[in-house]
Amino acid sequence: MAGSLNNLLAWSTANSVAPQDGSAPASSTPSSGLNAEMLAELLGGPSDADRMRDAMSAITLPLEQVSLENKLIAWDNLEQLIEQIDNANNMDPMGLWPPLLRQLENPEAELRRMAAWCASTAVQNNVKAQEKFLAEGGIPKLVKLATEDPVQSVRKKAITALSSAVRNFQPGLDELEQSVPDAIWTKKQGLDAADMEAVDEVISALRDHSASRS
């Protein structure tokens, strides 16, 4: 809070000093010294962390307490928040990865799909999130969805999430190769995670298998 107050003071000073010659300020547009998070804190509104916790709380409560429609709204809110890399990285210290991964096994297909979608958003181009996702056992869970889920839209989103989880992340790609059933991927040759065409090979194999089950 003290840091936010200091920023507010600096912002106020910078935007309240009139030119010595009495002319109008060069621009009436406020400087970017205040961001949405600081304003929310100063005005007593919820922070991004609060909104992320609230979303996960709604997601994990029983359907008797939170409707499916409201759970999907909560998922959408969470997905938008973790588009920001700082918020995605905060999922680990906030303990949000375990409950998210449990939702990959939710009986409701739309909730499984949204869980895969959020996982995909969090790990995309984000090695810290990729590392945590791997450590939490996320890749085998997504492979199970991608290869066994009865709903095609869930399989598609799981494959998209796997693609995000392994690109430019060698430990993740190694885990993916070992997790995909031999009937789908037989090479097991140690693909290079930095080689996008090589990564596309195993992702395409998963997509072909998913399409064959339509």
In a domain, 200, yes or no: yes
Report field, pTM of the whole predicted structure over 0.95: no
In this structure, what DSSP letter does residue 34 have? S
Q: For residues 88 and 185, which has the higher predicted lDDT (pLDDT)? A: 88
CATH code of the domain in which 84 resides: 1.25.10.10
Give the contacts of 1 (CB within 8 A, at least 6 positions apart): 41
In a domain, 23, yes or no: no
Helices 152-166 and 170-179 meet at what angle, rounded to 10? Answer: 140
pLDDT per residue over 35-77, tens digit each? 655 655 566 679 999 999 999 999 999 999 999 999 999 999 9
pLDDT band at residue 27 using 50, 70 and 90 as cut-offs: very low
Domain membership of residue 79 as a residue range: 34-213
pLDDT per residue over 140-192, tens digit each? 999 999 999 999 999 999 999 999 999 999 999 999 999 999 999 886 677 89
In a domain, 10, yes or no: no
In a domain, 175, yes or no: yes
In a domain, 68, yes or no: yes
In a domain, 49, yes or no: yes
- Average pLDDT score over the chain: 86
In a domain, 170, yes or no: yes
196 CB neighbour count, 10 Å cutoff = 12
Residue 53, both tokens? 């916790």
Question: What's the number of domains the chain is made of?
Answer: 1
In a domain, 124, yes or no: yes
Q: State the pLDDT at residue 36.
A: 58
Alpha-carbon span 152 to 202, nearest angstrom: 18
> Is the pLDDT at 81 greater than 50, yes or no?
yes
